[in-house]
Each structure stands twice: as C-alpha cells, then as structure tokens.
Amino acid sequence: MYQLFYYPRNASWAPHLMLSELNVDYELKLVDRKNDAQKDAQYLALNPTGRIPTLIHGEQTIFESAAIGLYLCEQHVNANLLPAMGNPLRVQCYQWLFYLTSTVQSELMVYFYPEKHTTDSTHSPAIVLAQEKLISEGLKLLDQQIANKRFLMGDHITICDYFLFMMCHWASDLKRPPISFTNLGRLMRELASRESFRQVCEVEGTSLTIYD
C-alpha cells in the first residue's frame, strides 16, 4: 500500500489525483501546514526538505511531487500515464512535466509568496505584477500546445495532465485565469468531470463548481 503525506491543494494534489486514477490502495497522512508539521523532526526524518508531499511505498520513501508522479507511472506501466520507452512522446512528456513543475510552479510560488523574494516589503506589489505577466505567458504557451488535442500529450491522459490541472487551479485567481483560455478551459473542464478528480477534490475539500 502507498502512504501519501499530503495537505489539501498542496503539491501533493497531483500525486493524489494519480493514485485515485490508478485505483490502487493508498492511505493519506495529513501534514498540517498550519501548525508547521512539515518542519517537525518526525516528518523531517522522512523528507529532509521539510516540504510536502512525501510518498512511502514498501521500503521506498520519495519526496518531490514530480518524482512521486514518475514513480507511480513506472509502478503501473499498463495505465500508460507515461509514454512507453522508445515512443518519441516520452521525451515530450518529460519536457512538459518539467516545464510545469520547474517553470510554471516556480513562477506561481513567487506570485503567491512575494515577501520571500525581497528584503523590502514595498517591492511585493511590483513582484506580483511581474509574476502575473510571466505566468500568463506560460499559460498562453500551454493553451497553444493543447490546441487540437484532447490532453496535453494527445488523445490519452498522462502524468502531465494531473500537474497541469494542479497548476491551473492554483492560478484561478489571476486576472486572466486559465479557465478563460479556449483550450485550457476546455481541458480543465474535462479533467474536473472525471470521477477520480471529483473523488479527490471531495476528500480535499476543494470545490470544482467553476468548471461546471
């Protein structure tokens, strides 16, 4: 059985969605960020970064959301959440996965926590404005990438789509939210309609009404 250490709508969200989609046995372990539980000694023994998520599977302990996602893909090859070895789409899948987690997610974190990126709090509003522009450029690129495609990589859902959904939902309060883009909006609505997504969001207390 898998154990996922999570917090609602945190970076654990995409792995949680994947576990639900895979229909495997898993147990959720809440890490209460409000009380800085991710910084206590017991959790740090599992994940020395002091961040969420962490996955335990047998003797394996894995942190970093994308690494957990890839591990799940490799454990459940028949689900085809990662294109097979030798398939050119596999490289493209890696490319977009790391674009989402290394570029888009990083830009979002600066947007949400500008005070962590300056020693002068008066700079925070300017940082937010600059980040919103960068994030919008990323969303435009993603919107173009999925034109004439059902999912990010084509006709079949992959690991990328779970991370895309997580990033785009996080960005819902932007002046131009992802759902307002033609292709991103279509894909977000389709993903939000999947039973696995609805089950996870019910557990995590996340409303999907914006996609109805």
Mean residue pLDDT across the chain: 96
**Helices (H), ranges, the chain:** 13-22, 41-44, 65-75, 88-98, 105-112, 124-145, 159-170, 182-192, 195-204
If you average pLDDT over residues 159-174, what whole number do you get?
Answer: 98
Cis bond upstream, residue 8 (ω within 30): no
Nearest 10 degrees: CA dihedral of 34, 167, 54, 91?
A: -170
For the chain, give every residue range classified as CATH 1.20.1050.10: 88-211
Q: Kindly state the tokens that stand for 164.
A: 């895309």
pLDDT in tens, 104-162: 999 999 999 999 998 988 989 999 999 999 999 999 999 999 999 999 999 999 999 99
- Tokens representing residue 79 in the block: 């689900």
Q: Model confidence over 42-72: pLDDT tens digits?
A: 999 999 999 999 999 999 999 999 999 999 9
Q: Which CATH number fits the domain 2-79, given the four candidates 3.10.620.30, 3.40.30.10, 3.40.190.10, 3.30.70.580?
A: 3.40.30.10
Residue in the block written with tokens 């493209």:
92
CATH 3.40.30.10 in the chain is located at 2-79
What CATH architecture applies to the domain 88-211? Up-down Bundle (1.20)
Query: What pLDDT score does 121 carry?
Result: 86
pTM of the model: 0.96
Least confidently predicted of 2-16, 21-35, 55-69, 117-131: 117-131
What pLDDT is recorded for position 15? Answer: 98
> How far from 169 is each of 72, 164, 208, CA to CA, in Å?
22, 8, 9
| Amino acid 1: pLDDT | 96
Residue 96's alpha-carbon distances to 89, 92, 127, in angstroms, are 10, 6, 25
